[in-house]
Chain A
Amino acid sequence: MEVMQDVMDDVMGGEEGCMSGCITRTGCLFIIILIAVLAFLATKFPVALPEIALPAEPILTLPFAGFSVTNTLLATWLTMLILIVGSFAVTRNLKLVPSGLQNLVEWGLEVLLDLVESVSGRRGRQFFPLVATIFIFLLVSNWMGILPGFASVGLIHEAHQGGYQVQQVSILGLDIGLLQAEEVGEHETGWTVFSFLRSAATDLNTPIALALISVFMTQVVGVQAQGVRYFTKFVNLRGPMGPIGMIVGLLETISEFAKIVSFSFRLFGNVFAGEVLLAVMAFIVPYLVSIPFLGLEIFVGFMQAFVFAFLTLIFMHMATMGHEPEGEE
């Protein structure tokens, strides 16, 4: 839990340093000039509102099997690449007394491991790989999603409705179209951008895949811990209460499926809403007002990764324990 405290301090409690910096007269002047310049820029170069679409946009379609690579899939691959290359870079020459990057990673993993073991005790090390993988993957993909270049660089397509004008620019022999913020008229063709990269969790497929893995592994862990007895949670014929046990088992079965829905929609909704929020804020008041929301998105990205990983951990921990009536909440 201390990690969360640290990040909260970073995100929320950073005012002291700024206050002492802003209070001087030159500092004040500088900030006022900056705001004036940005406000001038905002009127001169307004920001276009991107077309907000729930499904991911296909970037390239493979000729066979009708499989198309979408921008969220590209972002997922990029996340995986970063994690794989990163872990190779960290473990390339391990030292007994760590320093630099190795030290940082060891610290992070130790904090995570302590956290996991504080929840599920001696079984912590068994759950740790999956929980930590979910956490690190989601953290990297969520934080990558707010980098510049995501959702702003891509292929230009004809818009279904509305859309914006395009200005052709040639840089280093490449034809580049810049999307203008002026809306097109009634009968002209409008254009919109299918960005190359879009945060992985803004496609419902990614959270559902993770939720399925998490719920399936919960059953596996439950069977490992209790054997076939684990399934008496779902089908309970010989219990002392008879038919009531059946109904409770039915409810337990439904709650397993509800877990998939709540896991996936919580993550998808938060990240997607964050993207929409940033786009709309940049459209309403360009450049300046988005900055606090970027901070909010860093916090939300961390919290959602944390919640997903630790709910998985808690459900796994509950699955390993027997089905005592008083053990249930």
Chain B
Amino acid sequence: MEIDLTTLAAGLAIGLGALGPGIGVGLLVSGAMQAIGRNPDATPQIQTNMILGIVFAEAIAIYALVVALIIKFV
């Protein structure tokens, strides 16, 4: 089996880069779910802020994706 090293690098870049944001999004959602469980009336605000937080955590995975795309396609 032959594999191009750039392909491997792109895979590693996004794979390792998605680890941290994955943990971050998990923590965010778990916190938000607990908060909603304790105070269901505040669901809309908690949900909105949760989505906003997820977007920021996800942005880091997107940086890794950009790096992977640059490695692969440039």
**Chain A residues at the B interface, C-beta cutoff of 8 Å:** 1-2, 4-5, 8, 52-54, 262, 265-266, 268-270, 272-273, 276, 303-304, 307
> In whole angstroms, how far apart are the Cα atoms of A58 and B69 in the complex?
20
Task: Please tell me which one of the listed residues B48, B65, B69 contacts residue A1 in the complex, with CB atoms under 8 A apart.
Answer: B48
Q: Is the CB of A270 within 8 A of B48?
A: no
**Chain B residues at the A interface, C-beta cutoff of 8 Å:** 44-45, 47-48, 51-52, 55-56, 59, 62-63, 65-66, 69-70, 73-74
Q: Is the CB of A4 within 8 A of B51?
A: yes
Task: Please tell me which one of the listed residues B48, B59, B63 contacts residue A5 in the complex, with CB atoms under 8 A apart.
Answer: B48
Q: Is the CB of B70 within 8 A of A54?
A: yes
| Given the contacts A1-B45, A54-B74, A307-B52, A266 and B69 also touching, CB distance less than 8 Å | no
> In whole angstroms, how far apart are the Cα atoms of A302 and B35 in the complex?
26
Residues on A with beta carbons closer than 8 Å to the beta carbon of B73: 52-54
* B59, chain A: closest CB distance, angstroms: 4
> In whole angstroms, how far apart are the Cα atoms of A52 and B70 in the complex?
10
> In whole angstroms, how far apart are the Cα atoms of A269 and B18 in the complex?
14
> In whole angstroms, how far apart are the Cα atoms of A265 and B61 in the complex?
11
Residues on B with beta carbons closer than 8 Å to the beta carbon of A303: 51, 55
Q: Is the CB of A307 within 8 A of B55?
A: yes
Residues on B with beta carbons closer than 8 Å to the beta carbon of A268: 66
Q: Is the CB of B65 within 8 A of A273?
A: yes
Q: Is the CB of B45 within 8 A of A269?
A: no
Residues on A with beta carbons closer than 8 Å to the beta carbon of B56: 307
**A–B complex contacts, Cβ < 8 Å, 17 sampled:** A4-B48, A5-B44, A5-B48, A8-B47, A8-B51, A52-B73, A53-B73, A262-B59, A265-B66, A266-B62, A269-B62, A269-B65, A270-B62, A273-B65, A273-B66, A276-B69, A304-B55
